[in-house]
Structure 1
C-alpha cells in the first residue's frame, strides 16, 4: 500500500477524499433544510463504510450551507470528529453590490473565514486549511502572520493551497516557518494538461499546454500532497453518457467500461485507480452525495495497485486522442 505525502507527515488521511461541494442544497441564501442534512449524513456514512476518513469542504460551498449541514451531523454525533480529517478552504469572495467577486488572502479575511467555518462545522479545529485560488494581491508575510495566529491558537493544524503553480507555492512558502502540505488541482482522464506538460518538453505541441512547468515534480520533491478535484470528470467515463462528446472521450469511456468488466470492478474504481497509479500519490476528491456512486469507489486503491504500465498508458493515450511521440 502506497504511503502518500500526508500520511508521511503523520496525518491519518484516507487515499480517497469525500468532497462536500454538493452538500446543503442550492447555491443560494435559502435556509438549510433537514432533508439536505439527512442526505449529507447518508453520504458521509457511505464514505466511512468504505474507509474514507478525509473530508473536503470550502467556506463557499452552497453559500456556507455545506459546512453547516456537516456541522449539524457532528453536533448529533460528536464522536465522529476524531475519526475524521477535516479540510476546508477560504479566499474566494462573492460579488456584493458594486464590488466584484474576488480573491482575498488578507489576514483579516483568513482569520474571519476560519472562525466562521469552525462555527458552521461545529468543531474546535481544522486539520487542514487551504487557500482556494491564487490572489494577485497576496503578501506572503501577511499570510504567514495569519497562519501563525491560527496555529498558535490551535484552530488549524496544517496549511495548504489550491490551484497554485510551483512558483506561487515557493513564493508563499518563503515566508512560512512550516511546510505547505497540500495543493489541490483539477485532474482527471478528461483534464490531462498536468501530464501533457511533461510529455511535451521540447515539442511544438507543448506551446498550447497550460499547466505550471515543474509543478508535479516540485510537489513530489517537497512532499506536498497533490489532491485532484473533479477526478471523475462529471461522470464522462462512468455512465453519464457520452453522446455529443469527442471521439476520444467516447472511446475512453468504452475502454473504462471494458476494463471494469474484465477486472470485476466498477468504472469509478478504474478512473480513480488510474489517477492513484501515478507516483505522486494523488488523492482524488469525489464530489458526489450519491451513495451508490460513493460506494462504487471502494475498489479504487486496489485497482491502482493492480494497474499495469500498459493499462495506464492505454487509458492516457486514448483520452488524449493523440499517439505518444
Structure 2
C-alpha cells in the first residue's frame, strides 16, 4: 500500500482505476493472452487487479496465476486485491448451502488457497467479501494480525459493508482498514445516502467502486429510471464532447470520497477509452442533473 503525499486518503495513492478479473473465466484467454492483457493495462497505468476466491466458480485466481507465472517480474508492478468469506456450493467446495464465514480458520485457509492459485507469496490487500452476521471481531483482527506478521497479507479492507459494519471492524482494528468496495453508479445511490461514503471520508479511506455502469443497464435501459438517466448522460456527453460511458465514470469519480473505479471489461480498448473519455470535470450543477434524472424529482 502507498499513500499519496498530497492527499489524506489511503490506498494506492492517487490512482483512479483498477482492473477487475471477476469475468476472466468467461474471456477464454490463454495464459499468454492474460499476461499480455495484464502488461497492456500496466502500460496504461492501471496496476491494481481485483480478484476474489469465488470468481469463476473458484477458477479465476488460478487462470490469473497461470499467466503471472509466465513472467514473474510483472508481479512487482502489480497490486493484488483479493477477497474471501463467501462459501459457495461448488465442486471446489464441500459446503451444502451458500453462506458467509469469517472464522479465522476459513480466512487463513482461503488466503493459503489464493496464494497457491495466484502463484504468489504475498497478497497486497485482502478484503472480506460480504458482511457476516456471525463475525467475531476480535477473532478477525487476531487473524489479520497473524497473516500480516507471517508476510502473507499486506493490508486489509472490506467489501459491501454498511457504515456501521465498517466502523465496528475499523475502530477495533485501530483504523487500519484501507477500503470498502461498494456499488456506485447513477442508478444506485445507496452508498451515498446510507452513510457509507461519509464514514469512509471520516476515516480518510477511499472506496473501490464496482458496477459503475450499473451492470450494463446504462446501455440497455429497461426501466423508466434508467431511460431518464441515459437521456441525461447523452445530453451531457454532447456538452462535454465525450461518451455516455465517460460521463457515467466521471460522475462517480467526481464524488469527494475519491472512488477507485473498477473496470470489468476484458477488452483493453474499452478500458483505454473509459480512462480517456472520463477525463472531464463535471460541474456541480451537471452532477446534480444526473441525480435529478435518476430520482425523477428535484432536490428537496
Work out which of the residue numbers 150, 154, 157 in structure 2 matches 1:157. Answer: 154
Partner of residue 216, structure 1: 197
Provide, for residues 9-43 of structure 1, a one-character-per-residue CA deviation record: whole Å limited to 9, x for no partner: 473562111111101239xxxxxx6x454554454
Partner of residue 317, structure 1: 292
Work out which of the residue numbers 278, 290, 312 in structure 1 matches 2:267. Answer: 290
Partner of residue 25, structure 1: 26
- Partners of 1:4 and 1:102 in 2: how far apart? 40
> Do residues 308 (structure 1) and 283 (structure 2) align?
yes
Q: CA deviation at 1:251?
A: 2.8
> Do residues 53 (structure 1) and 50 (structure 2) align?
no
Partner of residue 255, structure 1: 232
> Do residues 16 (structure 1) and 17 (structure 2) align?
yes
Partner of residue 299, structure 1: 276
Q: 1:51 to 1:257 in 2, by over 3 A?
A: farther
RMSD: 2.4
SS of 1:318's equivalent in the other structure is helix
Q: How does 1:174-253 map to 2 (within 5 A)?
A: 174-177=171-174, 179-195=176-192, 197=193, 212=194, 214-237=195-218, 240-242=219-221, 245-253=222-230
Q: How does 1:63-78 map to 2 (within 5 A)?
A: 63-78=57-72
Unaligned runs of 5+ in 1: 27-32, 198-211
- Report how many aligned residue pairs link the two structures: 294
**Contact 2:9–2:205 at 8 Å: present in 1 too?**
no
Q: CA deviation at 1:5?
A: 10
Partner of residue 201, structure 1: none
Work out which of the residue numbers 111, 129, 137 in structure 1 matches 2:126. Answer: 129
Instruction: Please list every run of at least 4 consecutive aligned residues from structure 1 whose deviation after the TM superposition is greater than 3 angstroms.
Output: 3-13, 35-43
Q: 1:41 to 1:318 in 2, by over 3 A?
A: farther
Q: Mean Cα displacement is larger for which, 219-228 or 172-181? A: 172-181
SS of 1:18's equivalent in the other structure is strand
SS of 1:133's equivalent in the other structure is coil
Q: How does 1:138-153 map to 2 (within 5 A)?
A: 138-153=135-150
> Do residues 118 (structure 1) and 115 (structure 2) align?
yes
- Partners of 1:92 and 1:191 in 2: how far apart? 23
Q: 1:89 to 1:97 in 2, by over 3 A?
A: closer
Work out which of the residue numbers 89, 99, 102 in structure 1 matches 2:96. Answer: 99
Q: 1:167 to 1:8 in 2, by over 3 A?
A: closer
**Contact 1:257–1:267 at 8 Å: present in 2 too?**
yes
Q: CA deviation at 1:291?
A: 2.7
- Partners of 2:198 and 2:208 in 1: how far apart? 14
Q: CA deviation at 1:314?
A: 0.9
Q: CA deviation at 1:320?
A: 2.0
Provide, for residues 114-159 of structure 1, a one-character-per-residue CA deviation record: whole Å limited to 9, x for no partner: 1111111111111110000011111011111110111001111110
Q: CA deviation at 1:323?
A: 1.7
- Partners of 2:64 and 2:24 in 1: how far apart? 8
- Partners of 1:250 and 1:269 in 2: how far apart? 17
**Contact 2:8–2:204 at 8 Å: present in 1 too?**
no
Q: CA deviation at 1:273?
A: 0.8
- Partners of 2:183 and 2:267 in 1: how far apart? 21
Per the normalisation by structure 1, the TM-score is 0.83
- Partners of 1:315 and 1:4 in 2: how far apart? 32
Q: 1:42 to 1:311 in 2, by over 3 A?
A: farther
